[in-house]
Amino acid sequence: MLQFLIGTNFQLMRFRRWAYLFSGSLILATIVWLVMHGGPRLSVDFSGGSLVQIATNQALPSGRLREALDRAGMRGAEIQQLSEAGGNEYLIRLKGSSEGDVFKGVKDAVVAAFPGVQIDEQRSRVETVGPRVGKELASKAFWAILGSLAGILIYVGIRYEFKYAFGAVVALFHDVFITLGVLCFLNREVSLTVVAALLTIAGYSINDTIVVFDRIRERSKALRKEKHSRVMDIAVNETLSRTVITAFTVFLTALALLIWGGEVLSDFSLAMVVGVAFGTYSSVYVASGLALDTWIWLDRRKGIQAE
Amino acid sequence: MTRADQWKLLSVVVATALSIWYLWPSYRYYTMPPAERQKMPPSEMAALRKKAIHLGLDLQGGMHVLLEVDKSKLSAAEAKDAVDRARDVIENRVDQFGVAEPLIQSEGEDRIVVQLPGLTDRERARELIGRTALLEFKLVRTPEEVRNIFTRLDSYLAARGAGASANLDTTLQRTPLSGHFLDVGSAAFIRNDDRPVVERLLATPGLDSIIPSDSQLLWTAQDQNYQGVTGRYLYVVKRTPEMTGGSIATAEARVGLDQTNPGAWGVGMTMTPKGRADFGRVTGNNVNRQLAIVLDSKISSAPVIRERIPSGDASITGSFGIEESKDLAIVLRAGALPAPVKTVEERTVGPSLGSDSIRKGLTAGLIGSVMVIAFMVIYYQLSGVIAVAAMLLNTVYVIAALAGFGATLTLPGIAGLVLTVGMAVDTNVLIFERIREELRHQKSVRQSVSLGYDRAFRTILDAHLTTIISGLFLFQFGTGPIKGFAVTLIIGLVANMFTAVLFTRMIFDWMLGRGKVERLSI
């Protein structure tokens, strides 16, 4: 029988304060980043504007491409060459006005500035979102995230006692927020698909937590005499292999999507990879750690010695 | 085999058979060589395509536009059903344009969604959908009236010093507007270079009050030539139209409408009986005057009425290409939009880019699945094989359900499917780890399996429910592709309860039911 992480006896709970420090710094860093940049970088889905991907038959130096767009009145374009497959593919982001046909505008500007260049429309795409539609999508996304967090919260609240629910909920916010933070640090944009990834993470990352908590509940009945932290350690160690393996299989598929899934899915896949990784870590440290501290705090308030 | 086992077996067999039944059309449709597709009768082909799994616009390529109907200039009564009328008109236009399986839907108060799958000419489509196509026949003012109006505009502008600031030219100081005219008859000719200046002058505040309320200034739609100079005419016409596009019975693209340029394409129109009567009366009453054919507030031509025209044939000419003429004929036949529309969202994906996405998504899915399968088989051996079988069955069920419900497979949907592979085996990992644990506690194989399933069940149910909760919110919020993702995720999780719990349990029971088992390959 091939196995790993069986019969381990890590004293995980002893280091939980370090984990709080680590998670706390990441969260703080995310908050600082968000405050400094006035929120996450929003894709055209939410900010309004246009995203134009063009495939050309020859390379366009990005400086001259920018000049060409400037001359055509499309100022402040962000240009990104897609490195995939070595083709001449460019991603152009334009903020603001979506009046008129943006794709045609870009096409005309390119053709005028680079004689002989042809744009393959079959291999191009355009996303234009008006400011009002963008705002509507943003508010929908906001409520969807809030709603699903609340839904899970209520479910966990019904299913577990307060001491567990608190840790689970903090872990949930932790995972979603840090994933958002990592995307921000990597200068990725928050788009509709990224929101989909965040919601999936919210639903998925709690799975590991549920596995650990069910075990803690089971063990805390059997091991009444033990210290709380010992019960926790036993429960976490006993479920460690499955916590890691279940996350690992999902991690593998998310990683495959990130590497081979193409440009369109890359932000989504990155969010999933990061979210699954943090979800695993947080079910051990944030969720269980906080559950332990809540448990100790509750007992002490009742005047029971606990640690 | 117990009775309960028989039921389980039956349910698996039925679900699998049903899935194959639903997947068969998709398999046939997407693997059919193009030559064979051509041979198939169109009605049969359409039926097959309908049953096959639908690909989202992001995968098959196509155009998604969200239009907003500008109701601000409509009366309350007109505004009431303006969106529905606009939708009907657009539907009519798209039908005539010829796109397979378009979707045209009104949404909310003032919006219309238009989806054109597999579209290859987006510019043409955009023009066709978004054009108001308001056709009007308006009488052109007589040269004296025109001169009179321009003189009044000149003195108003000169009084406000409109020409002085920019020009030292005294003519332009005295006549800021008509100083730019190369020719004035019933219309003024303005060089293209001067047009921006003139347009700015015409936008001067208060100018509207100088123009008599029953007159309006309109530009020609296309560039014209006057003594070797390129420019456009600015007409003064009567504001109330004599007739509108409502009188048009048919319109078609034709050559030979323009006597001066017989090879040129244009649109020939015939009128309804009432339209013919009106046209006869209007032309009869206005012989020797010009009647402007106005399309979307631009004059396409302004022929002189030589005599009463009883036939009711009219035409629009200009330097049109064949496609442009055809599209113009389509919009004239389908009728005008009740109000202008604005594109507030567009998502267009080129078909090759879409097939790229499919290829990449499938590659990622394949590699991801192979990695997961390899891990499961190496780590859990025979039990891993069972889990993999369950996972594959799960994938088949999800795709079949998508086909069966007529749901749309999008790129995020493919991503959801790939993630489901990783999540599907999780259930079995939880069960297997629990079984291993029981085995370590020296329980018998049969007992361990039974306890493993029972004890892991509650955890599995909880885990599935939380993910389904976020899936439901995602579905609620979702637009197009995201909805596809949510649907895939939710179906995947529900199917997983069946395959990973019921199906694998059945296999274990069957294996263990055949006499005493000492060791379990897990």
Mean pLDDT, range A16-35, rounded to an integer:
95
pLDDT value of position B244: 87
Q: How many domains does chain B have?
A: 4
Do both B83 and B225 map to the same domain?
no
Confidence band (pLDDT; 50, 70, 90) for A177?
very high
Do both B291 and B434 map to the same domain?
no
Residue B307: other Cβ atoms inside 10 A: 9
In a domain, B48, yes or no: no
Question: Which chain A residues contact residue B476 at CB under 8 A?
Answer: 144, 147
Confidence band (pLDDT; 50, 70, 90) for B165?
low
Last residue within a domain, chosen from B324, B349, B374: B349
Beta strands B103-107 and B215-219 are: unpaired
CA-only gyration radius of chain B, Å: 35
In a domain, B491, yes or no: yes
| Residues B190, B196 contacting (CB under 8 angstroms) | no
In a domain, B445, yes or no: yes
pLDDT over 90 at B219, yes or no: yes
Question: Which chain A residues contact residue B471 at CB under 8 A?
Answer: 199-200, 203
Do both B234 and B303 map to the same domain?
no
Do both B375 and B506 map to the same domain?
yes
Question: A49-129: what CATH class?
Answer: alpha beta
Among chain A residues, the shortest Cα distance to B415 is held by: A257
Structural domain of B404 = 3-37+350-512
Residue contact B473–A148, C-beta within 8 A: yes
Lateral strand order in the sheet of B103-107: A78-82, A89-94, A49-55, A125-129, B341-349, B62-69, B111-117, B103-107
Provide the shortest C-alpha distance from residue A301 to chain B (in Å): 31
In a domain, B157, yes or no: yes
Question: Which chain A residues contact residue B381 at CB under 8 A?
Answer: 2
> According to the 3-state scheme, what is the secondary structure of B5-35?
HHHHHHHHHHHHHHHHHHHHHHHHHHHCCHH
pLDDT over 60 at A181, yes or no: yes
A196 touches chain B (CB under 8 A): yes
In a domain, B517, yes or no: no
Last residue within a domain, chosen from B297, B312, B336: B336
Rounded mean pLDDT of chain B? 88
Residue contact A199–B436, C-beta within 8 A: no
Provide the shortest C-alpha distance from residue A297 to chain B (in Å): 27
- Each domain of chain A, given as residue ranges in start order, spans 12-43+133-301, 49-129
Do both B501 and B388 map to the same domain?
yes
| Residues B214, B240 contacting (CB under 8 angstroms) | yes
Provide the shortest C-alpha distance from residue A306 to chain B (in Å): 28
Query: Residue written as tokens 């009728």?
Result: B335
Range with the poorest average pLDDT among A249-263, A269-283, B154-168, B342-356: B154-168
Of B58, B351, B489, the CB nearest to A122: B351
pLDDT value of position A85: 58
Do both B394 and B272 map to the same domain?
no
Mean pLDDT, range B159-178, rounded to an integer:
70
Q: Residue B330's domain is classified under what CATH number?
A: 3.30.1360.200
Of B375, B429, B482, the CB nearest to A193: B482
- Gap between the Cα atoms of B435 and B414, Å rounded: 33
- Gap between the Cα atoms of A191 and A40, Å rounded: 10
Do both B324 and B294 map to the same domain?
yes
* Alpha carbon separation from B282 to A77, B17, B277, B315, B350 (Å, rounded): 53, 71, 9, 16, 49
| Residues B348, A125 contacting (CB under 8 angstroms) | yes
Last residue within a domain, chosen from B306, B336, B366: B336
The pLDDT tens digits of the residues spanning B39-57 come to 888 888 888 888 889 898 9
B489 touches chain A (CB under 8 A): yes
In a domain, B43, yes or no: no
Mutate to test the interface with A, among B345, B370, B455 (most CBs of A within 10 A): B345
Q: What ipTM was assigned to the predicted interfaces of this complex? A: 0.91
Do both B406 and B505 map to the same domain?
yes
Residue contact B371–A256, C-beta within 8 A: yes
A136 touches chain B (CB under 8 A): no
Do both B158 and B128 map to the same domain?
no
Mutate to test the interface with A, among B375, B388, B391, B466 (most CBs of A within 10 A): B466
- Gap between the Cα atoms of B387 and B273, Å rounded: 74
Provide the shortest C-alpha distance from residue A221 to chain B (in Å): 16
Residue contact A124–B418, C-beta within 8 A: no
Among chain A residues, the shortest Cα distance to B481 is held by: A193
- Gap between the Cα atoms of A170 and A287, Å rounded: 7
Task: Tell me the percentage of chain B whose pLDDT exceeds 70.
Answer: 98
Do both B229 and B117 map to the same domain?
no
pLDDT value of position B452: 93
B264 touches chain A (CB under 8 A): no
CA-only gyration radius of chain A, Å: 24
Do both B359 and B504 map to the same domain?
yes
Confidence band (pLDDT; 50, 70, 90) for B63?
very high
Contacts of A180 (CB under 8 A, 6+ apart): A30, A40, A190, A198
Contacts with A, B 26-65, CB within 8 Å = 58, 61
Do both B199 and B247 map to the same domain?
no
| Residues B232, B224 contacting (CB under 8 angstroms) | yes
pLDDT over 70 at B78, yes or no: yes
Question: Which chain A residues contact residue B398 at CB under 8 A?
Answer: none
- Gap between the Cα atoms of A249 and B226, Å rounded: 75
B114 touches chain A (CB under 8 A): no
Instruction: Name beta bridge partners: B343.
Output: B67
Distance of CA B96 to the CA centre of its chain: 16
Mean pLDDT, range B169-189, rounded to an integer:
81
Q: Residue B125's domain is classified under what CATH number?
A: 3.30.70.3400
| Residues B486, B467 contacting (CB under 8 angstroms) | no
In a domain, B519, yes or no: no
B116 touches chain A (CB under 8 A): no
Residue contact B122–A143, C-beta within 8 A: no
Query: Residue written as tokens 């209007």?
Result: B282
In a domain, B161, yes or no: yes
Q: Considering the domain A12-43+133-301, what is its CATH architecture?
A: Up-down Bundle (1.20)
Provide the shortest C-alpha distance from residue A198 to chain B (in Å): 10
pLDDT value of position B1: 66
Provide the shortest C-alpha distance from residue B8 to chain A (in Å): 26
